[in-house]
Amino acid sequence: MAGCNPDIAFDAFIFDLDGTLLDTADDLGGALNRVLADANIAPVDKSIYRPAASNGANALLEVGFGDKWPDVEQLALRQQLLDYYAEDIAIHSKCFNGIEQLLASLEQNSIKWGIMTNKPGFLTEPLVQAIPSLANAMAVVSGDTLAVAKPSPEPLIHTANMLDVDPTRCLYIGDAERDIQAAKAANMFSATALWGYIPSVDTALSWGADFNWQTPTDGFIHI
């Protein structure tokens, strides 16, 4: 759908969670550094863990353990990180600047909005509940809601069905290539959240989203 009219309005916005709606990197990084401390490995700085924050526990652990990662008990360490993260899931996490205003505008204009994340439900649900600005989400779909996750289009189609909106009238906003791939496969419009945990602007632009937003307030043009 690249090259479409930038002024198009949508019946629903669907958002990725980590790196799109919420800045969760410091809580994820805190859990990672607790695991590293247990293993007598030096903590990693935000500049190291932040780019991996959208890519799941294994990606975080890999940047923390570096060349030791192939030789450790990966499943056990993953569970340890998830346990630590679940204990302190919303200490530092908050909406990115502009998100609350965007969500409020959607609601004022009777545009539906929901969340579709690859985060597992046992983490998604308490995190969303801890952020008051997300209370009005009309659909919340996690990475394990269905048998498949992004980049499969099925979770996005499922979210559109929950919102009772045709997928072609939805816009999906995310900060990872799999987000854009899933939106394209679902026949949805897509927007890259350039404020999120992207590897670089040039890389993100190469994903071929319909829109590339510098800030959440770029979304106002579509309301």
Residues taking part in catalysis = 16, 18
Nearest to 116 by CA among 29, 27, 195, 186: 186
- Please state, in angstroms and rounded to a whole number, the distance separating the CA atoms of residues 57 and 41: 17
Nearest to 94 by CA among 142, 133, 120: 133
Going by their DSSP bridges, the two strands 189-193 and 94-95 should be labelled as: unpaired
Nearest to 143 by CA among 131, 132, 134, 156: 156
Task: List 12's β-bridge partners, or say none.
Answer: 112, 170
Nearest to 96 by CA among 175, 156, 8, 190: 175
Structure tokens at 168: 């072609």
Rounded to 5°, the CA angle 184-158-205 comes to: 25
- Please state, in angstroms and rounded to a whole number, the distance separating the CA atoms of residues 31 and 19: 17
211-213 sheet: strands from edge to edge: 140-141, 112-116, 12-15, 170-174, 189-193, 211-213
